[in-house]
Copies of this chain bind each other. A is one copy, B any other.
Amino acid sequence: MSTDAAVPGYSDDKTAVLARLRRVEGQVRGLTRMVEQDIYCIDVLTQVSATTRALEAVALKLLDEHLTHCVVDAARQGGPEADLKIREASDAIARLVKA
């Protein structure tokens, strides 16, 4: 009867996304320390690439949830709202691919 019932598992997903974001924040702080300590550029770059991949994983997780919940719900309701949700999702995917 609650709205949660309509989005099963959302809390779990949210907890997982927040845990990933906290790790990314830690990775960025690690990068700051590496630069402050004049760690060799190439080693810093390796960690920047790892951090970028971690952020992309967050994006893919959010997008997957968005498709699973919002897009599927909108598709079932149909009408202009469904078209809008698909358009938004496609635009977000384009931004990710080009980021």
Which residues of A are in contact with B by a Cβ distance under 8 Å?
Answer: 14, 17-18, 21-22, 24-25, 28-29, 31-32, 35-36, 38, 41-42, 44-46, 48-49, 51-53, 55-56, 58-60, 62-68, 70-72, 75-76, 78, 82-83, 86, 88-90, 92-99
Contacts and interface: CB of A to CB of B under 8 A. Distances in A.
Q: Report the copy number of this chain in the oligomer.
A: 4
A78 B96 CA distance: 28
Given A28-B25, A41-B66, A97 B94 contact: no
A66 B42 contact: yes
A3 to B, nearest CB: 9
A2 B92 CA distance: 33
Contact of A48 (B38, B55, B78, B93): B55
Given A18-B35, A46-B95, A60-B97, 9 more contacts: A17-B35, A25-B32, A45-B92, A51-B55, A67-B67, A67-B71, A76-B78, A93-B96, A96-B97
